[in-house]
Structure 1
Amino acid sequence: MKVRFDATGEVVLVTGGARGIGAALAAAVNAAGGMAVVLDVTAPPDGIEYVEVDVADKAAVEVAVKGVLQRYGRIDGLVAGAAVQPRSAVLQMDAAEWSRTLQVNLDGVVWVCQAVVPHMVAQRSGSVVVFTSGMASTGYAGAAAYAASKAALVAFAKSLASEVAGDRVRVNVVAPGVIDTDQFRSANVGADREHWQDTIGIGDPDDVVGPLLFLLSDAAAMTGSVLTRERAFAKLTSFTDLHGVMSD
């Protein structure tokens, strides 16, 4: 079965889309005929529209989203991927690190949803995707703040999904597994990287694009769901293979 994604006329907002999974998705949306707009603190690759904003700043997020709506008149998809992943043991973690992690990873998703979802409700259409992590259920030594933020996002997304389901707005969660991004490399060196490579494996940003396009599309008649890249699935196929099947 082959599926082609057509995003003609659609606008997709991607937070944290300057690099990694977000940048790969933005390029794919544009290639499918849509308009991807990245919200990030750094610029994405050339050819991708960009608004500089720190998602932890609620007022700045509201201004950025208002500007996108003024330019394009609609937002059809929101992929909230902005995150930080500091590493420190709980007993050595300072208050600023804890607060910053939650402000970006959790508050930033709340603020962008508050700015975007009312317009999707008015349109009676839209898809929101947020990211969680396997660490949300297992924890990970040295990454308590990150793990806690990702666990909270699952509950937040499921709650929001329940609130807006009647307005034909979908909210789903992706747990992409371990993906080789700049952030992953800075947070996982030496033994940590070897651990991931030897257990569930390390994927590429493009591996996640197919599932994200699916969740953004009208083929994904589901909400409040968590799509997970498990090791068993990875042994049979990869997200790259799935994307190839869905887009060739």
Structure 2
Amino acid sequence: MKVTFDATGEVVVITGGAQGIGAALARAVTACGGTAVVFDVVKPGFDVDYVEVDVADRSAVGSAVRAVVSRYGRIDGLVAGAAVQRRTPVVELEPAEWTRTLQVNLDGVVWACQAVVPHMVSRRSGSVVVFTSGLAVTGYAGAAAYASSKAALTAFAKSLAAEVAEHRVRVNVAAPGVIDTEQFRGANAGTDREHWQDTIGIGDPEDVVGPLLFLLSDAAAMTGSVLTRERAFAKLATFAE
């Protein structure tokens, strides 16, 4: 069964969209006829509407969202993907690293939702997608800050979904699995990378695009759900042999 998506006339804001999964999604939204607007601290290396924003700055996020609404008159989708990920043992965690991780990974999602969701509520239409991680359930050595932020996001998204469901605004969570991005490579060098490759496998950013487009589309008649991609296709092929 082949599926196609039509985003003609729609506007999707993607935080952290300069690289990795966000960049792949931004390209896909554009290819589907929509407008992708990337919020990031670095400029994307491809042609897309870009706003330099540190999502940890609530005021900056609000200003950026108001500019998008002023320019396009609407925001149909929000994919809150901006995140930082480092590997530091708990006993070595400095307050600055802990705080920065939560400010970007958790607060940044809250600020983006606070700015975007009221516009969706007023139009009685819209889809929000946030990202969790398998580490939020299993934990991982050195990843306490990252895992904690991702666990909190699931509770946040489910709570927001309950608040706005009556306004026909959907809020769902994507758990993309282990994906080969710049951030992943920086946090999982050497034996860590080998661990993931030898267990659940490592996917590509493009592997996540279809599920994200689905969650953004009218076909995803659900809210408060977690869409999980457990294993990379290469590993599944190995199991099938």
Band the TM-score falls in, shorter-chain normalisation? over 0.9
Residue number in structure 2 paired with 1:15: 15
Post-superposition offset of 1:235: 5.0
Post-superposition offset of 1:233: 7.5
Gaps of at least 5 residues in structure 2 are none
Letter in 2 for 1:66: R
Question: Aligned partners of 2:33 and 2:146: how far apart in 1?
Answer: 34
Judge conservation of contact 1:23–1:45 (CA < 8 Å) in 2: no
Report whether the alignment pairs 1:42 with 2:31: no
Report whether the alignment pairs 1:96 with 2:96: yes
Report whether the alignment pairs 1:60 with 2:72: no
User: How many residue pairs were aligned?
Assistant: 237
Residue number in structure 2 paired with 1:74: 74
Give the TM-score, by structure 1 length. 0.94
Residue number in structure 2 paired with 1:132: 132
Q: Deviations over 1:145-183 (max 9, x none)?
A: 000000000000000000000000000000000000000
Q: Deviations over 1:52-99 (max 9, x none)?
A: 000000000000000000000000000000000011000011000000
Judge conservation of contact 2:15–2:38 (CA < 8 Å) in 1: yes
Question: Aligned partners of 1:38 and 1:92: how far apart in 2?
Answer: 34
Post-superposition offset of 1:47: 1.2
Question: Aligned partners of 2:202 and 2:146: how far apart in 1?
Answer: 19
Residue number in structure 1 paired with 2:167: 167
Percent pairwise identity: 79
Residue number in structure 1 paired with 2:187: 187
Judge conservation of contact 1:87–1:143 (CA < 8 Å) in 2: yes
Question: Aligned partners of 2:55 and 2:43: how far apart in 1?
Answer: 14
Residue number in structure 2 paired with 1:208: 208
Question: Aligned partners of 2:194 and 2:236: how far apart in 1?
Answer: 22
Q: Mark the CA change 1:46 to 1:167 in structure 2 (over 3 Å): closer, same or farther.
A: same
Residue number in structure 2 paired with 1:144: 144
Give the TM-score, by structure 2 length. 0.96
Aligned with 1:39: secondary structure? strand
Judge conservation of contact 1:81–1:130 (CA < 8 Å) in 2: yes
Post-superposition offset of 1:236: 4.9
Q: Deviations over 1:102-137 (max 9, x none)?
A: 000000000000000000000100000000000000
Letter in 2 for 1:152: A
Question: Aligned partners of 1:156 and 1:229: how far apart in 2?
Answer: 20
Question: Aligned partners of 2:187 and 2:219: how far apart in 1?
Answer: 35
Letter in 2 for 1:191: T
Gaps of at least 5 residues in structure 1 are 238-248
